[in-house]
Amino acid sequence: MPANPTVLTSKPEWQTLKEHRERLDGTPMTELFRQDPERAKRYYIEAAGLSLDFSKNRITDEVLEALLALASSCNLEARREALLQGERVNVTEDRPALHTALRNPGTDTIMVDGQDVVAEVQRTLARMETLVNGVLSGSRTGYTGKPFTDVVSIGIGGSYLGPKLVGEALQPYGQSGVPCHYVANIDGTEICETLRQVNPETTLFLIQSKSFRTQETLENSKVARRWFLEHCGDEQAISRHFMSVTANVPAARDFGIDPDNVFPMWDWVGGRYSLWSAIGLPIALTVGMANFRALLAGAHAMDQHFREAPLHQNLPVVMAMLGVWYNNFWGAETHAILPYDHYLRSLPDHLQQLDMESNGKSVTQDGKNLVWQSGPVIWGGVGANGQHAYHQLIHQGTRLIPADFIIPLQTHNPVATHHADLFANCLSQSRAMMAGKSLEEAKAELAAEGRSEAEIEQLAPHKVIPGNKPSNTLTMEKVTPETVGALIALYEHRTFVQGVIWDLDSFDQWGVELGKQLGKSILPRLLGQEAGDRASDSSTDHLIELFLSASG
């Protein structure tokens, strides 16, 4: 039977890429650099305040061309327009995914179900501004008339990771803001430790939940409410201290939140794409509304670039296709995110949810089993710390781990030669990943140390570093609201492009629901209420018995 050219792996572009992979197998990147002195300049893109050096990848011009041809053959340009124009790209939930409308400066009209969502976003931003200015100026106070000194944001997943990342990233911009504490987990320690640090008279609680149904968020919110009432004793005061961002206004009202204190979410915004909405209130309260708007502007600049730049100069597209290259043609199973900046330390956590909840799927948009790999494991951590932990495996382990190094050219905190030291560490890692160390080099090094022949033979193989490990280096002038906005939007679009290639619905997350459902049947048994369904396996039953015996 002839291959079906509409199926990804049967496309001629896919076959071409397989041939390129065979051909490139014996050519190290160092050789490609030797052949082309302009390589670093040619494999370089600047957009929206970010710069990408992608020269340390296993690519040639032909590979790049073939990768972009594959993207076009998957109708990337049309799918991109469908996303940006608000078509129902989330097919299983029959919704648009319009996070880009959240950072539209108000210049466009995007209609969803007869409503201009851009206008709705602008109205919500104005409401956020009133609240933020009131809190930061001290004109909006707690029940005893004192200004707010702390915000406690209660939310999980997308209602937590993005705001936390950005709140930390923009710490230098928070001088006149109110610090925010984040509570996510259904682990009593987190809420208890947080409440120990704050004063009920001067704390504003934000309940962040698109669905207002998430167990962790609701249970933590109940504890916070109880704690608040124990101290203040006046139900009326709840309306001054508790606010919510949700698409489920009736549930928020039933919880006791004054509808005037509810900020909207919309079903056309996915949780992991929601930091740009009122879910970003903790950010705005920490850094002020002007900086929040600058964050949106940075993301919008990336949206414009994604929409308009030709594919070969398109930052998200090029990064996405490099990911496809390693994921589907070189057997890479993971992708490392390595920010060399303390302010960006939570970027890997946010990108884990963004990427793995979006592209951790096994069927195509029309429900057929995938016969190609979908999204890789995303992991990572801040450099240089990781160099003293997991970089060993990147350098000498048996797996191929492509990495993104992310570093600002300037620091907010110049001290001694730290920033040059940090930068040198970052560059030395990407260089070591690519260049490695040959057996001959290892032997020569040992000989120079005066080692005996026997020692050299014994030790040299352990010192060999294979090299030829690919990486991207993303830089920005400084970590600012604009560059942070552009950086996160870049990864959102990278995720989208890969979802298009793999033919996934990148905007649903049905896998997460199973754990929630099973949790509902196990909890009653832990609470000694036999009404819960019996678990069907002896391991779960045994662990439940252990829990019950420990709790008497």
How is residue 114 annotated by DSSP? T
Measured from the CB atom, is 203 or 509 closer to ligand F6P?
Answer: 509
**Is residue 272 near ligand F6P by the rule CB under 6 A?**
yes
From candidates 142, 167, 174, 271, binder to ligand F6P by CB under 6 A: 271
Residue span 408-447 as binding mask against ligand F6P, x where in contact by CB under 6 A, dash where not? ----------------------------------------
Q: Does the active-site annotation cover 357?
A: yes
Our CA angle for 266, 100, 246, nearest 5°, is 20
| Smallest gap from residue 214 Cβ to ligand F6P (A) | 3
- 286, 177 contact by CB (below 8 A): yes
CA 402 to chain centre: 17
From candidates 90, 104, 153, 217, binder to ligand F6P by CB under 6 A: 217
The Cα 158–Cα 357 span in angstroms is 10
**Is residue 158 near ligand F6P by the rule CB under 6 A?**
yes
**Is residue 210 near ligand F6P by the rule CB under 6 A?**
yes
Contacts of 51-56 with CB under 8 Å at 24 or more apart are 51/474, 51/475, 51/476, 52/315, 52/318, 52/319, 52/472, 52/473, 52/474, 53/472, 53/473, 53/475, 54/318, 54/319, 54/322, 54/472, 56/29, 56/430, 56/433, 56/434, 56/470, 56/471, 56/472, 56/473
Angle subtended by helix axes 76-84 and 481-502, to nearest 10:
130
3-state helix, strand, coil in the chain (%, to 5): 55, 10, 35
Burial label, 118 (beta-carbon count in 10 A; 0-12, 13-18, 19+): buried
Q: Residues 350 to 369: which contact ligand F6P by CB under 6 A?
A: 357
Measured from the CB atom, is 217 or 498 closer to ligand F6P?
Answer: 217
Among 75-83, 151-159, 188-196, 401-409, the segment contacting ligand F6P (CB under 6 A)? 151-159
- Measured from the Cβ of residue 5, the count of other Cβ atoms closer than 10 Å reads 12
- 179, 151 contact by CB (below 8 A): yes
From candidates 211, 334, 365, 396, binder to ligand F6P by CB under 6 A: 211
| Smallest gap from residue 444 Cβ to ligand F6P (A) | 53
| Smallest gap from residue 509 Cβ to ligand F6P (A) | 5
From candidates 49, 96, 157, 163, binder to ligand F6P by CB under 6 A: 157
**Is residue 167 near ligand F6P by the rule CB under 6 A?**
no
Catalytic one of 22, 38, 388, 462: 388
Phi, psi of 71, rounded to the nearest 5 degrees: -60, -45
**Is residue 221 near ligand F6P by the rule CB under 6 A?**
no
In this structure, what token pair is assigned to residue 20? 């390129």
Our CA angle for 125, 215, 527, nearest 5°, is 160
Q: Residues 170 to 209: which contact ligand F6P by CB under 6 A?
A: 209
Measured from the CB atom, is 4 or 215 closer to ligand F6P?
Answer: 215
- 495, 324 contact by CB (below 8 A): no
Q: Does the active-site annotation cover 56?
A: no
The per-residue DSSP string of 41-54 comes to HHSEEEETTEEEE-
For residues 268, 270, 273, 276, the Cα torsion angle rounded to the nearest 10 degrees is 50
Residue count, binding to ligand F6P (CB under 6 A): 14
| Smallest gap from residue 261 Cβ to ligand F6P (A) | 17
Catalytic one of 168, 201, 357, 492: 357
Residue span 483-512 as binding mask against ligand F6P, x where in contact by CB under 6 A, dash where not? --------------------------x--x
Among 83-91, 115-123, 210-218, 469-477, the segment contacting ligand F6P (CB under 6 A)? 210-218
**Is residue 156 near ligand F6P by the rule CB under 6 A?**
yes
Q: Does the active-site annotation cover 388?
A: yes
Measured from the CB atom, is 211 or 334 closer to ligand F6P?
Answer: 211
Q: Which residues sit at the interface with ligand F6P, rule CB under 6 A?
A: 156-159, 209-211, 214, 217, 271-272, 357, 509, 512
Q: Write out the catalytic residue numbers.
A: 357, 388, 516
